Structure 1
Amino acid sequence: MQYTEVEQKYQVRDTAVLKAVLEERGAKPGPATRQVDTYYNAPHRDFLALDTVSEWLRLRESDHGDSINYKHWLPAEAVIKTHCDEFETPVEDIEALRRTLQALNFTTMITVEKVREEWVLPGLVEVAFDAVTGAGDFVEFEFKGEAVDAQSAITQLDAFIADLGVELGERINRGYPHILLGRDH
């Protein structure tokens, strides 16, 4: 599952109760980090052409280093995605990569700015509290444990979230670019 991501996202109004439960379970918060994510569309395949967006190419600038990331959400034809293939690697010179993408006719779709606070429960789940400019406050649960396949990871993540016993708010089945672009899926 090295290149597979399983996560769930919820819109939250008050994070204090969830943070208290996480602390009780031994989670430790990291520092708040500013992230600027620029999403690109490919010249050879329009990621926005389908009713349900299933692919993203992103450059991230953050306080802890820059990266490039490609996600292919699955099942591709489904409105509600359950997991994705994810390929991410650090970038030494983000401006050079940005210019490379522009030279290859990739176009900017949207830029997402957020402040992220990550909480880690060793070996199982990473919880990220995101304050997204123009969209609101969210919490993402990303599976980091051992699983034989995506379905096993989904089942374990669902059980973890249910076991928290916290009212999380509305589950969000789309990414921040979807939200800011005004797309339902």
Structure 2
Amino acid sequence: MEYIEVEQKFRILGPSAELKERLTALGATPGRPTRQVDTYYNAPHRDFLDNDIVSEWLRVRVEDGAASLNFKRFHPIASPVKTHCDEYESTVTDPEAVRRLLGSLDFAELTVVDKTREEWHVDGIAVAFDTVAGLGDFVEFEFKGDADTVEQATARLEAFIAALAIELGDRIRLGYPHLTLGLG
């Protein structure tokens, strides 16, 4: 399932210590917190915001001296409930050059998402604790293991989340750019 992302996001109800303790008990390994500054762009040839349900994003991310260019297309396209997305991402050596290139091609900056992320890994699952400026605290569970279908990956992700036996906050079915732009 290369180039496909399956994830679920929740608002964190309170301190994340209990969830981190549970992850540690399962053998999860935490990464060091990093700051990610994501700038989202709109395409001049196809307005991503033109539909009632936004299903595409183009992003430049800068994270601790590294950078990447990323495009996501969420499926099903017209549905408010997404199951997965196509994700194409590549590192870039000069994010300022990419920003200028996009500007020169009339791509318009939509929003910036500034967050601190601490990512843990266990059993083919990445668990990201995000503190997003202006939005609050979230936890994302992303399937990183081997699966033949989106349905298999989703089932394994949901089984993992259920096995944690931790009360999570509301499930958030929108991306951070949706939330910063007040969409949905």
Q: How does 1:23-172 map to 2 (within 5 A)?
A: 23-63=24-64, 65-122=66-123, 124-172=124-172
- Report the more deviating stretch, 54-63 or 113-122: 113-122
- Cα deviation for residue 64 of structure 1 reads 5.3
Matched residue of 1:157: which SS?
helix
Partner secondary structure for residue 118 of structure 1: strand
Change (3 A) 1:145 1:64: farther
User: How high is the TM-score relative to the length of structure 1?
Assistant: 0.97
Measured against aligned partners, the alpha-carbon deviations of 1:155-176 in whole angstroms (never above 9, x if no partner) come to 1101110011000110000000
CA distance in 2, matches of 1:64, 1:163: 36
Q: Shift in Å at residue 48 of structure 1?
A: 0.6
Instruction: Give the superposition deviation at 1:65.
Output: 1.1
Structure 2: distance between partners of 1:43 and 1:180: 21
Report the Cα distance in structure 1 between the residues aligned to 2:158 and 2:119, rounded to whole angstroms: 19
Q: Distance in 1 between matches of 2:65 and 2:9?
A: 23
1:17-52 CA deviation, whole Å, 9 max, x = no partner? Answer: 100000000001111100100000000000011111
CA positional deviation for 1:14 = 1.9
Which runs of 5 or more structure 2 residues have no equivalent in the other structure? none
Q: How many residues align?
A: 183
d(CA) in 1 for partners of 2:99 and 2:83? 30
Percent identity of paired positions between Structure 1 and Structure 2: 55
Equivalents in 2 of 1:130, 1:150: separation in Å?
A: 24
Q: Indicate the SS of the match to 2:118.
A: strand
Amino acid across the alignment from 2:43: A
What is the rounded CA distance, in whole Å, between the counterparts of 1:64 and 1:23 in structure 2? 29
Runs of 4 or more consecutive aligned structure 1 residues displaced over 3 Å after TM superposition: none
Q: How many Å apart are 1:151 and its aligned residue? A: 1.0
- In 2, Cα distance between equivalents of 1:183 and 1:51: 9
Cα gap change, 1:160 to 1:181, in 2 (>3 Å)? same
